[in-house]
Structure 1
Amino acid sequence: MNKPDIHQAAIRDVAFGTGVKVVEPCNLYGCKIGDDCFVGPFTEIQKDVVIGARTRVQSHAFICELVTIGEDCFIGHGVMFINDTFSTGGPARGHKELWRETVIGNRVSIGSNATILPVKIVDDVVIGAGSVVTKDITTPGTYAGNPARRL
């Protein structure tokens, strides 16, 4: 019988600002988390992610590589960020040159279980719970739905 290669959730190689609160278990590696941030349990934040000061990341969120989140943001429970657009008709399978970046502005609130594809979102935006953001958001306001549209 074969044994699996087991990896444990861990916090490693993270640049933390002052006053950061992290609730374990979570998997944080190679990222930067600004001053006075909160990271809830069962969260994964991958390498090269940058999270601005005073941002809250609630439980069960997944923030993949190539994501930058501004200051004073709220990332709700179960929010998923995506960096692979399946541009070749299937998954990139580790070909990072096919991945795309996401940039979230300041004072952006993303409701629980939203999915954020590779996009740019300006400052002062609210994304409704369960929404799927498929295109850049260039005007402040409230957006909801699948695909997310301005209300």
Structure 2
Amino acid sequence: MIAETAVVYAGVELGDGVAIGDHAVVGKQPTLGRRSTATREELPPLVVGEGSAILALAVVFAGTRLGRGVVVGDQACVRERCKLGDEVVVGRGSLVENDTTVGARTRIQANAYVTAYSTLEEDVFIAPGVVTTNDNFMGRTEARLAAMRGPTIRRGARIGGGAVLLPGIEIGEDAFVGAGAVVLRDVPARAVVVGNPARQIRTVPDEETLGR
């Protein structure tokens, strides 16, 4: 079902049973600032897998592919050249920036920010208010362009509410980042880290790992 007030751009490919909510904008081309580092090109149409839902006031850009059963929540945004696997959830008001890959069944809760050039593998949990970053130079010097990279969050990792992940770090498989942590360096698989700066305090128990 497509709401009467939704805007669906020409060429968008919609699978069977896709729902598009009130005032959603689907398949638009990006408009970039003069100093943007994003690639400037005419993008192919958005592809939305069967059974997916793009809810009220959400915006999903051209050049992105949504798998089957994806939910993009109210007022959320998924930018260009992203790949979202089956059954991914992007919560209300969250932003997934350009050139990001999100694995199947990953859940991004409300008001989270997933920066450009990030990789989230399967079954990742991103709690509300998480912030990821990709630029240690914060817009200064051309050297930043070669080093610009978001975090890599491995399969089954969980990131607690309000945590901040610095550019280019890796969160290991089944790792647990506590609420409000500021993560400056890589986190090993199954490590539990908390605090500012984040430090390991224990290991995730067997019963909480994906293999159980």
Query: When the two structures are superposed, what TM-score results if normalisation uses the length of structure 1?
Result: 0.86
Q: Does 1:84 align with 2:135?
A: yes
Contact 2:123 2:155 in 1 (8 A): yes
One-letter amino acid of the counterpart of residue 16, structure 1: L
Matched position secondary structure for 1:11:
strand
Contact 2:125 2:158 in 1 (8 A): yes
Tell which deviates more after alignment, 97-106 or 43-52.
97-106
Per-residue deviation, residues 67-100 of structure 1 (Å, max 9, x unmatched)? 10011010010100000112xxx53378533423
Distance 1:139 1:64, change over 3 A: same
Contact 1:105 1:121 in 2 (8 A): yes
Distance 1:123 1:139, change over 3 A: closer
How many residue pairs were aligned?
Answer: 142
How many angstroms apart in 2 are the aligned matches of 1:92 and 1:59? Answer: 30
CA RMSD of aligned residues (A): 2.0
How many angstroms apart in 2 are the aligned matches of 1:40 and 1:101? Answer: 20
One-letter amino acid of the counterpart of residue 145, structure 2: K
Structure 1 residue aligned with 2:185: 135
Structure 2: state its 5+ residue gaps. Answer: 1-30, 32-56, 202-212
Larger Cα-atom Rg:
2
How many angstroms apart in 1 are the aligned matches of 2:129 and 2:71? Answer: 18
Per-residue deviation, residues 9-44 of structure 1 (Å, max 9, x unmatched)? 621122101011111211211211111111111111
Q: Does 1:104 align with 2:176?
A: no
Matched position secondary structure for 2:197:
coil
Contact 1:54 1:72 in 2 (8 A): yes
Aligned mate of 1:22, from 46, 60, 72: 72
Structure 1: state its 5+ residue gaps. Answer: none
Aligned mate of 1:52, from 99, 103, 106: 103
Aligned mate of 2:163, from 92, 99, 114: 114
Q: Give the fraction of aligned pairs with identical amino acids, expressed as a percent.
A: 35
Structure 2 residue aligned with 1:11: 60
How many angstroms apart in 2 are the aligned matches of 1:120 and 1:99? Answer: 14
Distance 1:26 1:139, change over 3 A: closer
